[in-house]
């Protein structure tokens, strides 16, 4: 056993994409759903072995992830899942709120009723995932829900940046959710859908802000202390 034995979530069997893309998708998913904890070192050979591919495509995948700030390259050239700090967390939540509200505003004029139907379907699936206590599925669906809205604007350029923020929040959420019993209060999605139906921009912004707050923004300093530790800088 070379190094860290990461239990990477099994992904759909490799299709006709490149190996590099496959490695990227698996890592991306693992980070997004919080399978890899902050601070965990990520080695090229270790991952290559775990995925049964050669180091080369893994390296490329890691470079892409580090460019999205989902991984951080240390001075020793070692790659780790970035450690979360109280300050960085607040910055991430603040930026997520700002960009997603912006993206929603930009997307609203392009949203059709048919699209809203799709969002409602996703939301229904999320309700099921909540019942099943399936955190992983919930995270993926939540992402799909938000992405769907913002991507209604086909010339959207903010989507990759929102994704980057989610990627940075992902590893932290796993730890957070171990301490905070509850999860996304999906009701907010209903508010979002209502606002979309009514083309009510103010209500939409308010609902998105509330949704983000419910998901990640409500952690006060005490809660963060328990997760991150009071001494961490």
- Residues in touch with DNA (CB under 7 A): 2-3, 18-22, 42-46, 53-57, 59-60, 73, 76-79
Quickly count: other Cβ atoms within 10 Å of residue 229's Cβ.
Answer: 11
Figure out which of the listed residues 164, 173, 212, 227 binds a copy of itself, where binding follows CB under 8 A.
164
Number of residues that bind a copy of itself (CB under 8 A): 36
Looking at the chain, list the stretches that DSSP marks H as alpha helix, in order from N- to C-terminal side. Answer: 19-32, 44-51, 55-67, 86-107, 113-131, 135-150, 159-179, 187-197, 201-212, 221-228
**Could you say which residues in the range 66-85 bind a copy of itself, by CB under 8 A?**
66-69, 77, 85
**What is the spatial distance between Cα 190 and Cα 120, in angstroms, rounded to a whole number?**
8
49 contacts a copy of itself (rule: CB under 8 A): no
CB nearer DNA, residue 57 or residue 171: 57
**Is 155 or 182 the residue whose CB approaches a copy of itself more closely?**
155
Beta partners for residue 79, in sequence order:
42, 73
In angstroms, the CA 151 to CA 149 distance is 6
Which range, of 3-11, 88-96, 120-128, 219-227, touches a copy of itself by CB under 8 A?
88-96
- What's the min distance (Å) between Cβ of 182 and DNA? 36
């Amino acid at each position: 056993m070379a190094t860290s034995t990461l239990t990477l979530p099994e992904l759909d069997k490799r299709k006709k994409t490149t190996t590099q893309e496959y490695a990227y998708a698996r890592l991306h998913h693992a980070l997004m759903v919080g399978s890899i904890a902050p601070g965990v070192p990520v080695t090229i050979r270790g991952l290559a072995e775990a995925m049964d591919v050669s180091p080369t495509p893994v390296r490329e995948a890691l470079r892409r992830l580090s460019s999205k700030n989902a991984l951080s390259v240390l001075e020793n050239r070692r790659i780790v899942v970035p450690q979360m700090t109280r300050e960085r967390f607040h910055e991430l939540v603040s930026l997520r709120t700002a960009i997603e509200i912006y993206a929603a505003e930009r997307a609203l004029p392009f949203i059709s009723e048919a699209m809203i139907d799709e969002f409602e379907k996703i939301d229904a699936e999320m309700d099921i995932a909540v019942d099943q206590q399936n955190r992983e599925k919930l995270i993926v669906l939540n992402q799909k829900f938000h992405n769907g809205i913002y991507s209604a604007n086909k010339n959207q350029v903010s989507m990759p940046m929102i994704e980057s923020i989610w990627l940075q929040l992902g590893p932290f959420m796993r730890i957070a959710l171990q301490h905070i019993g509850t999860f996304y209060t999906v009701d907010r999605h209903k508010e979002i859908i209502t606002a979309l139906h009514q083309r009510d921009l103010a209500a939409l912004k308010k609902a998105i802000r509330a949704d983000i707050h419910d998901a990640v923004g409500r952690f006060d300093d005490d809660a963060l202390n328990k997760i991150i530790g009071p001494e961490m800088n």
